[in-house]
Structure 1
Amino acid sequence: MNKSVSEYRKIINQAQWQTPEQFQFASEHVKQWLMEQGSLTHKLLQQCQNLTVDVVTNAQCQIADIAPSESELLEDTHCWLREVVLHGDSVPWLVGRTLMPVLGMEMGNYNLSHQGNTPLGETVFASQNTARDALELTQVTVDGMPLYARRSRIWVDQTPMLVTELFLPDAPIYIAESHEWS
């Protein structure tokens, strides 16, 4: 991983997000990764023996830290920010950014601030009341390499969170025939 999470955030904030209907998928393989409706954590776990999370940020964020396109998808701009790097077998695969309204955390059954080093998908998709909407996709260029990203709103017990995922160069999305561990 050659850039810091804040550098990747700047790149993502300048991205031109598209609906799945507008987006040009390079292959069926890429489409399956970007359109995953369930837990991306579970999909990544199928590609490695050990999935780890490095938490970069886990704190209440300032309104200035929220891009206008992000605030459009959340009703409240007083949010908790969690930024992580997911590693498959010690290789950085994904930069994740999650925003959750603080009021929703206080009133709901799910508190993002307590997630720690556990992948988001492990806990969020364990709830019976989880749904995804507002899926958007983009391709950005980082150091001359095209990288895919997706952003969606995930509802947990009627509380929204905005999840942005940038697939780093060594992520399985870029491998045409990914190996699945038995």
Structure 2
Amino acid sequence: MSSKNFLFNREPLWRENRLGTRHTLPENVQSWVYEPGSLTQRLRDYYGDAVGVKVLLQRWNTPFLTERRLLKLDENKYSLIREVLLHADGKPLILARTIIPAKTIKVAKSNLAHLGSRPLGEVIFSYPKLERIEMDVTLINPPNWKQPAIAEAHIDQPIWGRRTVYAIAQRQMLVSEFFLPGVLEVF
């Protein structure tokens, strides 16, 4: 298994979120892609304490090329890469991949480097100066997922995702979230 990721056979192809993109997405997907608040909070509002996080990968490594470009990172700069599965009582809901550069971790007083099984949204949405900079969308077909991710998340159909650049005190991070069928059937 590549040390860069648990999820993908190859980097997803992202489309810039432009005027009109919303209308090309299924209605239940729009609701999640354009959610302005914390996805974790939205899940907790529905499932309560049943929401959990399973850490699939967390290590320092170089992000994918488009991730580095988006965050303006040098090719050889390591970032903290974290991939998780959000679930409710074991039901897979959202896969997430986060890229956190070292400078962002410093600004966040190391809270982001020691999340353990805490959801990222619980932490970043508590920062008063959190900004959403830009967003892209994607649709990933099953062959693009690695076998362990397919098994963990029960992937058997194309999966929609969003990739958002956030900034805390002008220091950026990248959060990619992939909406599994379990989350789309409920909302």
Query: Which category of TM-score, normalised to the shorter sequence, fits these structures?
Result: 0.7 to 0.9
SS of 1:153's equivalent in the other structure is strand
Per-residue deviation at 1:127? 1.1
Structure 1 stretch displaced more, 18-27 or 147-156: 18-27
TM-score, scaled to structure 1: 0.80
Distance 1:43 1:20 in 2: 25
The unaligned stretches of length 5 or more in structure 1 are: none
Tell me which of 17, 25, 41 is aligned to 2:15.
17
1:121 corresponding residue in structure 2: 121
The answer to whether 1:100 aligns with 2:117 is no
Per-residue deviation at 1:36? 1.2
Distance 1:44 1:72 in 2: 31
Q: Aligned partner of 1:162: which letter?
A: L
Task: Choose between structure 1 and 2: higher helix proportion.
Answer: 2
* Structure-2 change in CA distance of 1:159 and 1:32 (3 Å): same
CA contact (8 A) 1:81 1:98 kept: yes
Q: Give the ranges of 4+ consecutive aligned residues of structure 1 lying more than 6 Å apart after TM superposition.
A: none
CA contact (8 A) 1:58 1:113 kept: no
RMSD: 2.2
1:34 corresponding residue in structure 2: 33
2:68 corresponding residue in structure 1: 71
SS of 1:43's equivalent in the other structure is helix
Q: Aligned partner of 1:72: which letter?
A: R
Number of equivalenced pairs = 166
The aligned runs of 1:126-145 (5 Å cut-off) are 126-142=126-142, 145=157
Distance 1:157 1:109 in 2: 12
Distance 2:140 2:107 in 1: 36
Q: Share of identical aligned residues, percent? A: 27
